[in-house]
Amino acid sequence: MYLCKLMKEEIQLLVDKGEMLPLMEEFYTIQGEGFHKGTAAYFVRIGGCDVGCHWCDVKESWNANLHPPTEISKIVNNAKKYSNTIVITGGEPLTWDMTALTTQLKAEGLQIHIETSGAYKLTGIWDWICLSPKKMKLPTAEVYDKAQELKMIIYNKDDFRFAEEQAAKVNKDCILYLQPEWSKREKVIPEIVEYVMKNPKWKVSLQTHKYLNIP
């Protein structure tokens, strides 16, 4: 009993340092969204998120305790077998310190992308940051400066206003995308199309993996 408690505490310490991470799933697929859509990539989905988007399509990721603490070296060894492009997603991966994971992936010469709401401190070494801000927990100043891509999810009309507010905060080279929330796509796609034609600094992003019926 005591040993078991000790082990749990040790594992929690390693998770807190980012040397183990609550791994929800990992899979080789095609990046469906944004700038890199169509690119084969190995996805690593890390559990844990308290941002609380009501339309979130991975609510199973929220509770980190449901996902086994996994050694970084195991994640890296799996990833490098499949692809040069690794996408770290969640959940909200920045819930955890990403330094150890990204350092090891970089040591293998891999390209590392992150999908993040930016709500927490930006840790890790990234080749591509896809920032998708959420109203409930806004991004940190650092992530606005470093993001290569801003992906705004459109669920209702107010999201266009929020998208503009967020676009005003990112760096000048950041590529701007509007993406329909999947369950509202029939209603919002025509609105997005009209908006992008009127405001061509934006591009349309679709969740093409869902149309392709792949993860």
- Please report the sign of the dihedral spanned by the C-alpha atoms of residue 141, residue 57, residue 77, residue 12: positive
- For residues 83 and 181, give the distance between their C-alpha atoms in angstroms, rounded to a whole number: 28
Identify the residue among 36, 45, 113, 134 touching ligand SF4 (CB under 6 A). 134
* Structure-block tokens of residue 126: 């990234």
Flag whether 30 is marked binding.
Answer: yes
Question: From the CB of 174, what's the least distance to ligand SF4, in Å?
Answer: 19
Distance CA 205, CA 197 (A): 14
Give the span between the Cα atoms of 124 and 112, in whole angstroms.
10
> Of the ranges 4-12, 44-52, 142-150, 158-166, which one interacts with ligand SF4 (CB under 6 A)?
44-52
| 177 φ, ψ (degrees, to nearest 5) | -125, 140
Residue type at 140 in one-letter notation: T
- Tell the smallest beta-carbon distance from residue 115 to ligand SF4 (Å): 8
Number of residues that bind ligand SF4 (CB under 6 A): 12
DSSP tag of 27:
E
Site for ligand SF4 in 56-115 (CB under 6 A): 56, 58, 61, 90-92
133 marked ligand binding residue: yes
- Closer to ligand SF4 by CB, 49 or 110: give it: 49
The residues binding ligand SF4 (CB under 6 A) are: 49, 51-53, 56, 58, 61, 90-92, 117, 134
